[in-house]
Amino acid sequence: MRATLIYGAGDVRVEEVPDPKIQRPTDAVVRVVRSCICGSDLWPYGSRPPTEQGDRIGHEFLGVVEDVGAEVSGLKTGDLVVAPFVYSDNTCDFCREGLQTSCRHGGFWATDGVDGGQGEAVRVPHAQGTLVKLPVGEDSALLPSLLTLSDVFCTGHHCAVTAGVTPRTTVTVVGDGAVGLSAVLSAKRLGAERIILMGRHKVRTDLGRDFGATDIVAERGEEGVARVRELTGGDGTHTVLECVGTLPAFEMALGVVRAGGTISRVGAPQYDQAPLGFDVFMNNITVTGGVAPARAYIEELLPDVLEGKIEPGRVFDRTVSVDEVPDGYRAMAAREALKVLVQP
Amino acid sequence: MRATLIYGAGDVRVEEVPDPKIQRPTDAVVRVVRSCICGSDLWPYGSRPPTEQGDRIGHEFLGVVEDVGAEVSGLKTGDLVVAPFVYSDNTCDFCREGLQTSCRHGGFWATDGVDGGQGEAVRVPHAQGTLVKLPVGEDSALLPSLLTLSDVFCTGHHCAVTAGVTPRTTVTVVGDGAVGLSAVLSAKRLGAERIILMGRHKVRTDLGRDFGATDIVAERGEEGVARVRELTGGDGTHTVLECVGTLPAFEMALGVVRAGGTISRVGAPQYDQAPLGFDVFMNNITVTGGVAPARAYIEELLPDVLEGKIEPGRVFDRTVSVDEVPDGYRAMAAREALKVLVQP
């Protein structure tokens, strides 16, 4: 079968790899119907040192079950399923607490001999705990939105939930990428009435308005902070959803958060140290968030997608075949595409 | 009257100052019955550059109302009252949210022409919002515990509350100072069953055991982290109450917090930057806390003190007169005393 491998910065290739097979009785094999490229894939695409052997890549997919191991129940050949971007047994104490990203038996796609999602098929460890059945056919028009439950929409939702967004909280979203826009949609879904989106790409911020943003702030850095302060009577917002992951984005979040407020980070931080000193302390700022346990949220979000109440799949603005995945990376890195859907 | 002034590191003096008077109709004048020295007073005592003119110091006191301004209601001459360590109007939006430390008209004692608490009397701005009446006489044996509602016990309580301590959470308390011990007592009061106290001063950790600590870890740094991990099956604790304020203490907190857990900081951070990178993110660690809005908690905690259910005043292990305050500072800095009560 065909699958995507990364060999280094800017070097993504699609190659023939062995077809996946059941290795453990808890595995399933899933034929991929849709996958996609994540903003976080752009970090290795931007900076990974070159290697002789490539590594599989991709962690978002939905597809059809082709085979299940002897210990997998509740799933059968032919089921359409979505996979969260971390696999997990969904039974350990962390999973029961809704933190499947810390599952005692879980792990990440495309590491430690586990397949990546950007290919034609995937062996799924702990399939029973990991996969969630989708009550639609593989020709459903809802597939793009359903695919966002794998990562990007659940990540935006995690950001809004951990930040404590409610109808009473004002919100700033830092970043107009697919995660930032998902965070806007999530905040709106949780009832927020004032959502300030910080971003400067008009096509994206226009989608942000459709998703629920009430104000757009194109300025960045100190100017961006000043503008948000101006929009909020000098106070900043109760919650800040930091959806970028760079230090300037976090510093901007600190600049726009209201005293007593919360910053949630869901962009993987590209820094080790960050400001956490006297001002943060005196203003009782909370910093929360982290890698999103998508598995914890899928059942809750699924009905809204199925009923068409929300259309998180609108973040996809380009579709490629598996063989075109390298061009999809190029387009996302060049900001020609917001988020690229892969249709094998 | 006599009051304490700080002139620089190690240089605290007791001098004659003008008696306080009502300056605004919202003021009250309080004759101090008990005040005390705070661990945070030791930061300027340790490092403040020398100055020609001294500044008032001290922010914890209870006393008797001697005079009230024309706009103060609910308080009258002769009332025994406790003052939180930040004054506030208790009516603005921040105050109504329970964040009196960010009151729009509030401020800190001993700054901007406001009196400090370590003296014989204090002019109290926004007296009606700031002061809380105590239903005991000034000869009550409960005064030391009631005084802790001014700061130290409310600070420990804020730490436990913002960390999310419940009967289901395991707790590590970093630091065996008066705040750390107050955090132990607070965690116990909120129902925590497993409370690990990190501290190495036996007299203090013994009091910590009395307050509810179930385990004492005397080791620090990596050894301390390893010991807490060992005590918790490798996982760390759900909540970590960081009651010191130094970077090594925060790093230790990061080392002992369980995935998905929360670190609350109530020791004023003596650092600007702190680790907040990939590991913190991948483990979904929340960092919260900050300067405690003591005013928000006094009414809630007062009954337990009055009924003798808790005795937070046990953190005081030395009593001095106002004239002996400089020696109180010396004793606390030398760790001869845990916390010094001042009885004018």
Helix, strand, coil proportions of chain A in percent (round to 5)?
A: 35, 25, 40
Q: Which residues of B touch A283 (CB under 8 A)?
A: 102, 290
**So what CATH class is A155-289?**
alpha beta
Probe site for chain B from A284, A287, A295, A297 (most B CB atoms < 10 A):
A284
> Mean pLDDT across the stretch A2-27?
98
Confidence of residue B221 (pLDDT cuts 50, 70, 90): very high
Read off φ and ψ for residue A241, nearest 5 degrees: -105, 105
Confidence of residue B263 (pLDDT cuts 50, 70, 90): very high
Is A284 in Cβ contact with B277 (below 8 Å)? no
Whole-number pLDDT of residue A42: 95
Out of B260, B288, B289, closest to residue A97 by CB: B260
**DSSP-assigned letters across all residues of A186-215:** HHHHTT-S-EEEE---HHHHHHHHHHT-SE
Give the H or E element holding residue A223.
helix A221-231
Out of A283, A286, A291, closest to residue B286 by CB: A286
Q: Which residues of B touch A101 (CB under 8 A)?
A: 282, 284
Separation CA B311–CA B291 (nearest Å): 22
Q: Which residues of A touch B94 (CB under 8 A)?
A: 259-260
Whole-number pLDDT of residue A149: 98
> Mean pLDDT across the stretch A131-153?
98
Question: Token pair 């809750």 is at which residue?
Answer: A300
Question: What digits encode the pLDDT tens for the residues A27-58?
Answer: 999 999 999 999 999 999 999 999 999 999 99
Confidence of residue A12 (pLDDT cuts 50, 70, 90): very high
Whole-number pLDDT of residue B158: 98
ipTM of the complex: 0.97
What is the CATH code for B2-151+294-342?
Answer: 3.90.180.10
Q: Using DSSP, state whether A121 is helix, strand or coil.
A: strand
Whole-number pLDDT of residue B136: 98
**Contacts A–B by Cβ distance under 8 A:** 110
Whole-number pLDDT of residue B47: 95
Question: What digits encode the pLDDT tens for the residues B276-291?
Answer: 999 999 999 999 999 9
> Which CATH architecture group holds B153-289?
3-Layer(aba) Sandwich (3.40)
Q: Which residues of B touch A259 (CB under 8 A)?
A: 94, 99, 102
B253 contact partners, CB below 8 Å, separation of at least 6 = B172, B174, B240, B242, B263, B265
Separation CA A120–CA A138 (nearest Å): 14
Per-domain residue ranges of chain A: 2-151+294-342, 155-289
